[in-house]
Amino acid sequence: MALFDRFRRGPRTSAPLRDGLRTGSTRVRASDSADAQHLLEWIQTRRGIEGFVEPRTAVNDVTLLLVAHDGEWTRRRVPSVAWAHAFANKHQIPSYDAAVVGVPQRMREYNRRKKAEGI
């Protein structure tokens, strides 16, 4: 390719991405049924769960953070904020906007314990 060949082809058009969304200069993988299935299986094997809906950022899409009574947690991409709250309501899990309330202290303590154990 010669130095100016890229300019001869004309402007590039951005086609929709198959595997995710384009946000600025980063690509974000869209949520899929495997994410929803993981969340469902996770809530069926734990107790005292709360949901924290994390808003879309330049790096990540909307995510649902689930935290169990002992601080164990999981996070997965979800289609939208409304979907995350509807999922939590359907499964009788209280849900909060993480941008407003933050994440619970028990999650940070769980992470600290796991780090101390070397896991």
The CA distance from 104 to 102, in Å, is 7
Predicted local distance difference test score (pLDDT) of residue 118: 84
Predicted local distance difference test score (pLDDT) of residue 78: 96
Tokens of 33: 């049924």
The stretches in the chain having pLDDT less than 50 are 14-19
Predicted local distance difference test score (pLDDT) of residue 22: 53
Predicted local distance difference test score (pLDDT) of residue 29: 67
Q: Facing residues of 73 across strands?
A: 67
Could you report how far apart the first and last alpha carbons of the chain are, in Å? 50
Calculate the alpha carbon distances from 94 to 20, 39, 64, 104 in Å.
29, 14, 12, 13
Predicted local distance difference test score (pLDDT) of residue 75: 97
Strand intervals (E) in 14-117: 20-23, 26-29, 50-54, 63-67, 73-77, 95-97
